[in-house]
Amino acid sequence: MLKEFNNLMDYIEKHLTEEISGEDISKIVGISDYHFKRMFSYMAGMSLKEYIKNRRLSVANEELVNGAKVTDIAYEYGYQSIEGFSRAFREWSGFLPSEVAKNKIQKSFPKFTFFIDVKGGISMEFKIEKKEKFNIVGVSKRVPIQFEGENNAIIELAQSITRQQRDEMHRLADLYPHQVLNVSYDFDDGFLEEKGYLTHMIGFATTKKNTFDDLEQISIEESLWAIFPNQGPFPATLQETHAKIYSEWLPSSDYEVADLPGISFTKYNNSSENVYSEIWMPIKGKK
């Protein structure tokens, strides 16, 4: 996977002045552009879109210092107007393009290279498990994408569940872990910039079909799952484990993410300092 990541970095360098499509990305890295972008975000600490923008502005800076005209550079790197380019360039460098050209001010953003950095010596516990097709019944809503801290919209969703709905979910629940699951799917394109929304369902796993009008149901197809238990302060430990899965485990594994919802559950207790959770990631073998 690291080889494919670096091949894409090379491709981006050769096509900085062109539109880079999701199809181009998928062809080079061998997985969907959505899952690659998610992995890239965790590994690089920024979105792929932001990386490409930074590289374009860095090369534009170099060309301006070497005497290129602001007008030519603006249109070469895909901006629709000089004003739009100048605004983006100033936000990035702190200077207007004309100031850089006149005073030879240089700022750079180097090309990324991915390599294995062995550090920490902390093993990551996980197991691979095949699950037959099952259903999740519960309630859902569109909530803002949020990487850190408690998501207030999800808390509000949980608080909106009525006693009747809880009783109905418990009557249907007949699969492990026999408790509330958090299920996320249908992410907006803004996921990597922590913008937009996703659909979040709170519910229970079951082999039964939902017969209640006030509950929703989604079906989860048969799949392999990588299951990551984690324990510690909540929600920080859960979120850190999610980041490590994408930045460390997936790139070095023989698997890629399958196109199914992500699932987790948490065993709440009286303290938020030592909470047990599990993350279920749907996976398939790399082609």
Strands (E), the chain: 127-131, 134-144, 181-185, 197-206, 216-220, 223-232, 255-257, 262-267, 275-285
Return the closest-CA partner of residue 204 out of 156, 168, 162, 169. Answer: 169
Its CATH class, for the domain covering 127-285, is alpha beta
Q: Give the model confidence (pLDDT) of 105-117 as tens digits.
A: 888 888 887 765 5
Residue by residue, pLDDT tens for the chain (287 residues) are 678 888 999 999 999 999 888 888 888 988 777 778 877 887 777 888 888 999 999 999 999 989 999 999 999 998 989 999 999 999 999 999 999 888 888 888 888 877 655 444 445 688 899 999 999 999 999 998 877 777 899 999 999 999 999 999 999 999 999 999 999 998 876 545 556 788 999 999 999 999 999 999 999 999 999 999 998 888 888 888 888 888 778 877 888 888 899 999 999 877 788 899 999 999 988 76
Enumerate residues 6+ apart whose C-beta is below 8 A from 181: 136, 138, 201, 202, 203, 204, 205, 263, 264, 265
Left, alpha or beta for 159 (phi > 0: left; psi -120 to 50: alpha)?
alpha
Instruction: Report phi then psi at 108, rounded to 5.
Output: -125, 155
Give the residue extent of every domain in the chain.
2-103, 127-285
**Per-residue confidence (pLDDT) for residue 71, from 0 to 100:** 92
CB 191 within 8 A of CB 257: no
Q: How many helices (H) and strands (E) does the chain have?
A: 11, 9
Cα 217 from Cα 202, distance rounded (Å)? 11
Q: What 3-state DSSP class applies to 132?
A: coil
Assigned token pair, 190: 């803004």
Q: What is the pLDDT of residue 118?
A: 44
The beta strand positions in 54-207, using DSSP E, are 127-131, 134-144, 181-185, 197-206
- Residue 114: how many other CB atoms lie within 10 Å: 17
Quick one: 2-103 is in which CATH superfamily?
A: Homeodomain-like (1.10.10.60)
The pLDDT, as a whole number, for residue 117 is 52
pLDDT digits (tens, 9 = 90+) for 179-203: 999 999 988 765 455 567 889 999 9
| Distance from C-alpha of 116 to C-alpha of 125, rounded to nearest angstrom | 19
